[in-house]
A and B are shown apart, each in its own frame.
Chain A
Amino acid sequence: MTDRTVAVLAGGLSHERDVSLRSGRRLSSSLRDTGLYVEEWDVDAKLLSRINSSRPDAVVIALHGGAGENGAVQSVLEMLGVPYVGADPRACRRAWDKPTAKDELARAGLSTPEWITLPHATFRDLGAQDVLDALVARLGLPLILKPPQGGSALGLHLVREVAELPGAIVGCLAYGDSVLAEGFVEGIEVAVTVLDGPDGPQALPAVEIDATSGFYDYAARYIAGLATFHAPARLDSAAAAAVADLAVNAHRILGLRDVSRTDMVVTPDGVAQFLEVNVAPGLTETSLLPMAIESTGAHLGTIYATLIEGAIARSLR
């Protein structure tokens, strides 16, 4: 394994560049612990020439948001014939767009909070007040607003009062042209990592998020003291099985590969409700996937080194 050269892609131009750089650093350090030769590459206009000149044995994508999760970088790597860890471009696109993922999983019978996706043009053309009234009539309050694409809870809003709604929508629209409105589900928020193994996709222990505000937004993710985490989650065995099943099913149905992290809520009656899935989950010192791995006694670098070997083997088939 020591002969392998691995490129970790991080940074890029998405709104999540900062988190991505931290993910890249953490992953690279962990992979070096396993004896791999690792280079950290920021993604810019020189990426293709860099890949062609360096020809790494494999690439790991630690890019969050945008090109790293919407299949764009994966398409380039396919084009260049470079093995990479993670889902193929088509699966990435399905997971990246939250309404698409929710729709596919709901049609497959998985539970997910009711949702409506509204482009800015709908508010503009049909009258904002009427659309807002209809939205509240349909989903009720409180509700969650978020950009249909993107992560790190950027643009995420919990709306408890009607008066908060316009501002939250405008805040969301700063990140894109549409808003995903979702009914707010009370319960325990958990994240479940799924890894592909010899026996197919397997769920790691769920990580439970206990946000002091009751809402796991950007601040709770990155400001110490606003959330605590429990790994494994403090769930009874039935709920633990339910969240594992949901994550594995989401991984399978969306056609994901190698690794994914599904975020969900467990309702008081034990039902796991899908929120979203990430094909390039955060790998920082405070991210949920490394917590899940550590809760099993395993090492992040070892896990990803195994995935890298799998990606290389896949490319040789």
Chain B
Amino acid sequence: MAILVKPDTKVLVQGITGSFGGRHTQLSLEYGSQIVAGVTPGKAGQKFEDQVPIFDSVKEAVQESGATASAIFVPPPFAADAILEAADAGLELVVAITEGIPVRDMIEVKAALRGSATRLVGPNCPGIVTPGTGENSHGGCRIGIAPGYIHKAGDIGVISRSGTLTYEAVWQLTCNGLGQSTCVGIGGDPVPGSTHLDIIKLFNDDPDTRGIIMIGEIGGSAEEEAAAWIKENCKKPVAGFIAGTTAPPGRRMGHAGAIISGGKGTAEAKIEAMEDAGISVAETPSQMAEALIKIL
């Protein structure tokens, strides 16, 4: 099947009336995803594209639509509040696409969500896609900003901190005839809602995921933690890639979390930990699918 979302998962969009949120809601609808409600405080009663009802609050949207997942597109100053509102309304899954949320806000959100039943993915992430079985994977569940058509329904799980690098991996898989169970972008921020390890565990337990591609980058130690767990527990073949071998220390490489500081978070250390865990690490980003095929 898939993890986190299925083709019939009902999704609401917070920030549906913004240009970015609106554009990607439209693309998700075209992909065949079940976008059942939108939330923009003060705009209740309106409809997005004459189709999706808009509500003032997440709670009302959930009551009326039965949504279990949310995509957040609201601007950075209001994003932490949007995440907390979604959790308060009892959503199972909240996917924060917004880029540029202050770290302090995310520290508070993460602390507030401790022990909560809500799973947060993101922020600053491309979102989640569980491909459908139609033409160009139409009919799947697309939450976020990833291009739907590059996917293909299948049994490989993909997890990554980066957007376009994920698309690169997915496209390589699809071109090699390997479909995906679910593709999860956890985002490039230093305080992510879900880590590599959180998602790897879900893939490990998913009977319909046969192999995993894990894409990481410099900064932090989340890849090392995932590798240590994989070494002891993972039943499935894992291939990987780490971006940033050539990144200079002390400089932020685009993503807020992609920084080598105090000698920590280097690509070398991550690659070493992954290889030690038996993960097939691609030498170049062109070989991510190949690295997995070798060990399937």
* B is a partner of A: no
Interface residues of B (CB under 8 A from A): none
Interface residues of A (CB under 8 A from B): none
